[in-house]
Amino acid sequence: MTDDAPALSLRDVRFRWRGRAPFSLQIPEVIIAQGEKVLLLGDSGSGKSTLLSLVCGTVVAESGEVRVMGTDLSDLSSGRRDGFRAEHVGVIFQQFNLLPFASVLDNILLPLRFAPNRRTRAGATRETATDLCRALSLPSAIVAARAAELSVGQQQRVAVARALIGRPPLLIADEPTSALDAGSQTAFLDLLFEQVEAHAMTLLMVSHDARLSSRFDRVLHMDEIATVERQAA
Ligand SMILES: Nc1ncnc2c1ncn2[C@@H]1O[C@H](COP(=O)(O)OP(=O)(O)OP(=O)(O)O)[C@@H](O)[C@H]1O
């Protein structure tokens, strides 16, 4: 990891999903500076989640470079990519991906299991998790509840706390507001941005909703940054 590197840089990236409906993506160049808040817009099926998977290192480019905080993910073995992601990237998925039968506390602490440096940064983990819940307008007693008992809005905030704990430098969010009404979306983004700014994190968020644009430092459109080829199934 390099302190003055961009949070994220993609250069000459090519990636292809094989199978019944092949889909290929080419991205000449995308650079996101540390501390930027960037919205990635694009139609359904335009490859937004695929791009996030490349950034998370859950899939690997066929050619080109995907660098996170200066590290080229293709230089890492699959096991080291998992460790690198756990240390450096907080992820908020569209469906939140909480473990329903585990407590809120265990859900929030989950990424720290695979990330010793992030665990150290998190300090006293129970207190840190409880503080994060409070900062996200959740009652502190919620840490003892099972994730399955929470409302959708509460689950979403727990997913944010899990992504924020231990202050990974890059936060990736895939349509985190799609399950919320307009008022709840605004309140959620207020809380998310407050945390991102307080910890000088970089945010890359995917959405269909161009109305969110004015809240971000920069907006990327899939059809401007990528060339896509797809074949029908
Ligand atoms: N796991 C996978 N295996 C094979 N093909 C996939 C896989 N995931 C995505 N694809 C292909 O990649 C294309 C782009 O999908 P992707 O989910 O990246 O788009 P998206 O812009 O995020 O769409 P949406 O907004 O609907 O979530 C899909 O049409 C599909 O054909």
User: Could you tell me the residue ranges of all domains in the chain?
Assistant: 8-230
What number does the ligand 1 atom closest to the CA of 46 have?
21
Arithmetic mean of pLDDT, 188-206: 91
- Burial class of residue 69 (count of CB atoms within 10 Å of its CB; 0-12, 13-18, 19+): buried
Mention the CATH class of domain 8-230: alpha beta
Quick one: pLDDT at residue 3? 72
What number does the ligand 1 atom closest to the CA of 94 have?
27
Mutate to test the pocket of ligand 1, among 25, 50, 172 (most ligand atoms within 8 A of CB): 50
> How far does residue 42's CA lie from ligand 1's centre (Å)?
12
For residue 149, the tally of other CB atoms under 10 A from its CB is 12
Q: Is the ipTM of this complex over 0.95?
A: yes
Rg, Å, the chain Cα set: 17
Q: Please write the tens of the pLDDT for every residue from 38-56.
A: 999 999 999 999 999 999 9
Helix (H) or strand (E) holding 222: helix 222-225
Model confidence band, residue 161 (pLDDT cutoffs 50, 70, 90): very high
- Closest among 210, 204, 215, 212 to 92, alpha carbons compared: 204
Helix (H) or strand (E) holding 54: helix 48-56
What number does the ligand 1 atom closest to the CA of 208 have?
25
Cβ partners under 8 Å of residue 4, min gap 6: none
Model confidence band, residue 183 (pLDDT cutoffs 50, 70, 90): confident
